[in-house]
Amino acid sequence: MGKNLIDYIMNNSTYQLEFKIFFRNKAVWSGILILLISGFAGLYFGKTFIEKQEAVIGKANALQQEKTQHNIDLHSEDLGLLLFYNKFSIANMPSPWAAFANGQRDINPYLMSVSILGLEGQMYDTDLNNPTTLLLGNMDLAFVIIFLFPLVIIAFSYNIVSAEQESGIWGLVKSQSGLPLSIILRKFSIRLITVFATLLILMAAAVVYLQLAVDRHFMMVLMVVSFYLLFWFALSFWVVSRNKSSSFNAVSLIACWVVLNIIGPAVLNVWLTKKYPIPEAMETVIHQREGNHEKWDKEKHVTMDKFFEHYPQFKKYPFPSELTFSWYWYYAMQQMGDDEAAESAGHMMKKLEERQGFSSISALLFPGIQTQLGLNELAGSDLQSHLNFLKALKAYHEKLRLSFYPVIFTNGTAKDIDWKKIKAEHHVNAVESGKVVLNLFVVAIFSLLLAMAGFYNFRKKLHTF
């Protein structure tokens, strides 16, 4: 009992001494400070970015009502012409976690305004973006965790043993303990505790600043980033176990960081673009426009017969075939343009879904990409969320058409529509976490293999340490 107490006291005092030695280094405080400042900046910029989008979405409904009233004042007796100009908005609402991981919300449109004309030609008519801004991207806390935390882990860990070997004091330290591996594990544990304490401070700040709930979703995010940081500790542990010089360890770990976080993703993106090109986006617009404009040169019954095949419920409305022009025929023509572009649109959506699937599978080799995709999925800011938004846009557009067509086809006016009920639509993505579990499993396997390889090297080369 007395011996166990003495051992506990000795171990406790040894840990305290190791902590004092570790934090005596100014570079340690610099690393922690960099992470905290970058993390707080990431929270600020991430939240600011999402707040700007929310502000635009918030104005969309008022602007839609204002423009609608303007068109009613101009074309109250000609509903077909009014709806030719009028736009209706649908927004892809950000989840509370979107400020944590902005994902693809900076490159994909989050607010679409469309008329009841052909949809396929309007889906890709979005605002232009500054390419320099897209290249630099947006800074958020996910960026700090994925790119900066590993660099600090490398800076803390690369010379755990080699620095003392090169200074000549490792033999003295080893002789006092007799268990070199326990010394190394203690040093690693101190660094691990420090890094994770910094992470928890930033996560707590995220909960307060972004008003996030501490629930299952929070635990999933925390697990994703924790497993990612454990991977980098395991990688550092394995590199150190090879008993090389400090400069070799540093160069090796930085090379791993560059390959896994920069070169690997870049090569993967080039391969992805080549494997799944998407010329269908332009083809869809061309088919829609050709399918629309060529109907001007054809007999009206050709268009109307196809339209009634698509919407048999509208056969009951009399078609004024004797007129040179009618909105009945014009909107039928617009619908036929969409129908003729449907095949290209379907191919494009399939390609995008294949891209998403390919990215998820190939990312299993790159923990950084896995973590980014996992955080984007949990934040509802990934490609799949955008594809779901496009499907919601199509459903919204179809709902508008089906509500306005009967009034147009019976020569109704703006007075026959209850405009107060027509407001900007808000689409909320259902956040999924199925692929995240697979990502966690794969990163855990990588970490475990690296840790086992490190233990094997330490035991094999114990006499050389």
* Closest to 154 (Cα-Cα) out of 78, 248, 257: 257
In angstroms, rounded to a whole number, what is the distance separating the alpha carbons of residues 109 and 125? Answer: 10
CA angle 12, 231, 253 (to 5 degrees): 95
Amino acid at 210: L
pLDDT tens digits, residue range 54-70?
Answer: 999 999 988 999 999 99
pLDDT of 461: 67
Three-state secondary structure readout of 17-45: HHHHHHHHCHHHHHHHHHHHHHHHHHHHH
Classify residue 1: in a domain, yes or no. Answer: no
Structural domain containing residue 170: 10-464
Residue 200 lies in a domain: yes
Judged by phi (left if over 0) then psi (alpha if -120 to 50, else beta), residue 112 lies in beta
Using alpha carbons, select from 76, 70, 74 the residue that is nearest to residue 413. 76
Residue 281, pLDDT score: 53
Enter the pTM of the model: 0.86
* 69 domain residue, yes or no: yes
The 3-state DSSP class for residue 94 equals coil
The whole-number pLDDT of residue 11 equals: 56
* C-alpha–C-alpha distance, residues 142 and 55, integer Å: 23
Q: How far apart are CA 54 and CA 336, in angstroms?
A: 35
Report the chain (465 residues): mean pLDDT per 10 consecutive residues.
Answer: 44 75 90 96 95 93 91 90 93 94 89 88 62 60 96 94 74 65 87 96 97 93 96 96 90 95 86 71 53 60 85 88 84 82 75 77 85 91 89 93 92 89 87 77 92 88 60
Q: In the numeric block, which tokens belong to residue 22?
A: 């570790």
CA-only gyration radius of the chain, Å: 30
**What was the pLDDT predicted at 447?**
93
Q: Is residue 38 part of a domain?
A: yes
Token pair recorded at residue 34? 């960099």
Note whether residue 2 is domain-resident: no
pLDDT at 460: 79
Residue 163 located in a structural domain: yes
CA distance 72 to 78: 9
Contact 95, 429 (CB under 8 A): yes
Give CA–CA dist 343/332, Å, rounded: 18
Asked if residues 252 and 240 have their Cβ atoms less than 8 Å apart, the reply is no
Residue 427's SS3 state is strand
- For the chain, the domain total comes to 1
| 46 is a domain residue | yes
**Does residue 300 lie in a domain region?**
yes
Burial class (CB in 10 A: 0-12, 13-18, 19+), 224: buried
